[in-house]
Amino acid sequence: MTIYINKDETVFHLEMKDSSYIFRILENGELQHLYFGKRIHVKENYNQLMAYEKRGFEVSFSEEFEDIQQSMIQNEYSSYGKGDFRHPAFQVQGMNGSRITTLKYQGFELKKGKNRLNSLPSTFDDIGQCAETLTIILTDSILDLTVRLNYTIFPKYNVLVRNTEFLNNSNNKLTLLKAMSLQLDLPDSQYDFIQFSGAWLRERQLYRTSLRPGIQAIDSLRYSSSPQQNPFFMLSRRETTEHSGEVYGFNFIYSGNFQNMIEVDHFDTARVTVGINPVEFRFLLNPAESFVTPEAIVTYSDQGMNQMSQQLSDFYRHHLVNPNFSQASRPIILNSWETFYFDLSTEKILDLAKAAKDLGIELFVLDDGWFGHRKDDKSSLGDWVTDRSRLPEGIGFLADAIHKIGLQFGLWFEPEMISIDSDLYKNHADWTIHLLDREKSVGRNQYVLDLTRQEVVDYLFDSISKIIIETNLDYIKWDMNRHITDIYSIELDSEQQMEFGHRYILGLYQLLDRLITKFPSVLFESCSSGGGRFDLGLMYYAPQAWTSDDTDPIERLKIQHGTSYGYSPSMMTAHVSISPNEQSGRQTSLDTRTNVAYFSSFGYELDVTRLSVEEKEQVREQIQFYKKYRSLFQYGDFYRINSPFSCDSASWQVVSKNKCQSILLYALLNSKLNPGYTRVYFSGLDKDKCYSVSGFDEFFYGDELMNAGIKVSLSNLALCVPEYLTKLFVIEEVVCKLCK
């Protein structure tokens, strides 16, 4: 076991490969956090870490425990009202209206392995040989409330997973006002807060600011994780870089409203809380009822941000993503959207599919417009049946024809939405989310179905299942193109209306879980106007996500670079689209568009029937190249070298686990006249291996490539650099000829 408990059962040391997490039981039965950082030796007690001082003008816990002042202690899971005036991890209201809670230690449970959560996406250890789980049991005797703090460590990845369960053992109703999944009290605040904020078309842009007294937070109230703020964030020491220094990475396995907060108090300590946003949240606990929070992830590295990202990437692959796809090669996609939009016919679709097959594409995806009577975005959402006016033979005929061409077949769905101009709305207008006496808000000419209602979930499951069976479907693009407003469900009583947001997400997860269980071979890709729901909750069901509606490769350098801190390349979908780009109007070469998109689950989103002979041959070569190095792009160790957020160039690199093969992208973001040479530096290679580099006749040791770099001429004419130049360097281990 790598969870150690001292002989008095008062100190708990969770030991991982390179890190230690330690807490203890205080004299009053509450928990004191002691340490989370680089691994330290296991001891019976850590007296120096346990020490705290009593200060004037701070409140003592009680007369019996006068020396315990909660404001002077790093707490493990804090309450409010007994002297800790920082924001608490939870809050429970009793029948008399009181919000005071005192949790006292009752015992622990320890076991090998990690069970999946019921009704929520979660980490897992299905073979039971990697993880260890510790549960701390706390009770409030006045409320008759039990709280179970769950800690699972995955030692190999330096990953700690936390969540909390609240159980009402009383005969009275209790109301959960706040229930965070993770709290971490750090002993100082000398950190930078690194967040990934943005908007539609510019998701996950990197912002780095130093912590200051007070509160810094990211959150969402859109009933999705949102493009505005991503649930992943980091705390790093101010000197930390990609290659060195301490950093903590946090993520949340949830797709709804969240709040990640860092509070710096007057003693310069920093409290981190991660969980469901307490705004617009209340949950009623009747007698014998429980509430389980989603899981939160935290990882630690003292070797910089690249190592932290690689830890998370490997962890997701083995302990979060659907095992049916977690290590499988993701197919090369052609998506029909930018070719047809809504102008569909069987003949045009099959012509495009045949052209795609000729180029080497593996999966054809028919996007929006195939169902109901949908000629534009104003109708038919909810009517998941073939539009026979444009596809008279039916979607099953079309799928069979595409399978006979030799391609996999995928379809676009937006299951959570409904159009007023639809048969579903005519029959079930009450299924929309709305407040009866108020005018409904509208977004993109569509409304949202109430997934808190079981009959709505059942209808969607049956409708989508019929299409999957009819088409022998290989892939679903699951879209969600507006955020939720007019929050009200006619199925919930007045005491439960603040439960709506969480219950909606539970309905979504139930629907996805049922579909994936029934159709385990279907690959799901999530989408929300691009990257608006790019979170681990969806990744549990859909192992890849449309990273952004912005396919401009220069903008994608920032989007994919920012995304890579908290997610792996195989989770990102990137497509080569038309130039000039439809979002930005920017012109870029086919090589530039493709070189950026390679570092992902790769595909195309353009009319390949309109390519010139030369362009078609270029695309064939690109696809052959990607197939040759697909496992490297999707599952190799990803390194960020130059950041497009701070440099006029960007560099990424993927390296195979055995360090025998690597590919580096160098992208210059600004044209230059009469440029000098530039040096390109590599990462992650074996310093003692001998390598070839594409474009060079000589061989190089790994240490030379990493420390001295290679000198590259950026212009054949030595006069100017083409705007937005990109170059790929393929590195292969060779039998060392330098020693001869």
Indicate the DSSP class of residue 403.
H
Place of tokens 């005491």: 495
CA dihedral 295, 300, 305, 308 (to 10 degrees): -60
- Long-range Cβ pairs for the range 42-46 (8 Å, 24+): 42/4, 42/13, 42/15, 44/6, 44/7, 44/11, 45/6, 45/11, 46/11, 46/22
Alpha helices in 519-589 (DSSP H): 536-539, 553-563
Tell which residue, 471, 474, 475, has the closest CA to residue 400. Answer: 471
Report how far residue 280's alpha carbon sits from residue 301's, in angstroms, rounded to the nearest whole number.
35
H/E run at residue 31: strand 31-38
Report how far residue 330's alpha carbon sits from residue 570's, in angstroms, rounded to the nearest whole number.
8
* Residue 460 token pair: 């969607």
- Given a contact cutoff of 8 angstroms between Cβ atoms, the answer to whether 637 and 655 are in contact is yes
Report how far residue 289's alpha carbon sits from residue 169's, in angstroms, rounded to the nearest whole number.
8
The Cα angle at residue 696 between residues 690 and 700, in degrees rounded to 5:
20
> Which residue in 84, 479, 552, 637 is the catalytic one?
479
Report how far residue 151's alpha carbon sits from residue 138's, in angstroms, rounded to the nearest whole number.
14
- Given a contact cutoff of 8 angstroms between Cβ atoms, the answer to whether 533 and 524 are in contact is no
Place of tokens 């090669």: 329
* Residue 117 token pair: 């959560």
* Catalytic residue flag (residue 549): yes
- Listed in sequence order, the residues at least 6 apart from 494 whose beta carbon sits closer than 8 Å to its beta carbon are none
- Residue 238 CB neighbours (<10 A): 11
φ, ψ dihedrals at 571, nearest 5° = -80, -20
DSSP-derived pairing of the beta strands 270-276 and 258-264: antiparallel
Place of tokens 């709506």: 500
* Catalytic residue flag (residue 462): no
H/E run at residue 595: helix 590-597
To the nearest 10 degrees (0 to 180), the angle between helices 590-597 and 553-563 is 10
Report how far residue 603's alpha carbon sits from residue 573's, in angstroms, rounded to the nearest whole number.
8
- Listed in sequence order, the residues at least 6 apart from 424 whose beta carbon sits closer than 8 Å to its beta carbon are 382, 383, 418, 431, 459
CA distances from residue 51 to 46, 47, 55, 78, 267 in whole angstroms, order as listed: 9, 6, 13, 18, 15
CA distances from residue 349 to 302, 356, 363 in whole angstroms, order as listed: 52, 11, 13
- Residue 233 CB neighbours (<10 A): 26
> Which residue in 367, 549, 550, 637 is the catalytic one?
549
Q: What is the DSSP string of 355-401?
A: HHHHHT--EEEE-S-SBTT-SSTTB-TT--SB-TTT-TT-HHHHHHH
- Listed in sequence order, the residues at least 6 apart from 429 whose beta carbon sits closer than 8 Å to its beta carbon are none
- Listed in sequence order, the residues at least 6 apart from 405 whose beta carbon sits closer than 8 Å to its beta carbon are 350, 353, 354, 357
Which residues are marked as active site? 479, 549
